[in-house]
Amino acid sequence: MTREYDRGAALYAAFLEGDASALEALVQLYGDALTRFAYCIVRDDAAAEDVTADTFAALIVRRKKFREEAKFRTYLYAVARQVREWQEWKAQDSQRPKYTLAGAPVARRS
Q: How many domains does the chain contain in total? A: 1
Q: Convert the pLDDT of each residue in 39-69 to its tens digit.
A: 999 999 999 999 999 999 999 988 777 887 8
What percentage of the chain reaches a pLDDT higher than 90? Answer: 65
Whole-number Å distance between alpha carbons of 72 and 50: 20
Q: What is the pLDDT of residue 1?
A: 46
**Does residue 107 fall inside a structural domain?**
no
The amino acid occupying position 69 is E
The amino acid occupying position 87 is Q
- pTM for the model stands at 0.79
Neighbours of 54 (CB within 10 A): 18
**Does residue 2 fall inside a structural domain?**
no
Domain housing 36: 7-94
Whole-number Å distance between alpha carbons of 45 and 33: 13
CATH number at residue 72: 1.10.1740.10
Q: 61 exposed, middle or buried (CB, 10 Å; 0-12, 13-18, 19+)?
A: exposed
